[in-house]
Amino acid sequence: MEELEKEIRDLKRELFDLEKTFYHEKEVLIGLINTLAVAAARFPGISQELEAIKDKLDPSQELPVEELESQLGALKTKVLATDVDTIASEDLERVKGLKETVVAACRMLRRVIISVTEDLYPLDKLLIE
């Protein structure tokens, strides 16, 4: 009888530990989705789906697995189907400007090298141009 009581206590403790683990996993999942929702605010096309998923999450209740799976499927489809432009047009303009600056600096450096080496080595017309 004592063995049975000990086994019941062990099972209760194990069940309690499992519930505690599941609760913490659920909190981490909710935190992850909340973070994704904040990050997705930069991409308005997917933020609505993440908000819908976020609204279904409550750590005090059981997760609606089927609804979450369908929402995640819709989100995945939208993300894969949509080309999300992650580079802002201002950044592209800045990169173009930097490229032009580097090209101009290379041209000036080439002229300096040619003028310095002109006296040291005889240069062809091809090298001068």
Average pLDDT over residues 95-112: 85
- Give the C-alpha separation, 97 to 66, whole Å: 50
Confidence (pLDDT) at 83: 52
By the 8 A CB rule, do 67 and 75 touch?
A: no
Closest CA to 34 of 58, 14, 2: 58
By the 8 A CB rule, do 45 and 82 touch?
A: yes
pLDDT tens sequence across 12-37: 899 888 888 888 778 878 777 777 77
pLDDT of 108 above 50: yes
Domain boundaries, the chain: 2-81, 89-128
Q: Which residue has the higher pLDDT, 119 or 64?
A: 64
Other Cβ atoms less than 10 A from the Cβ of 16: the count is 10
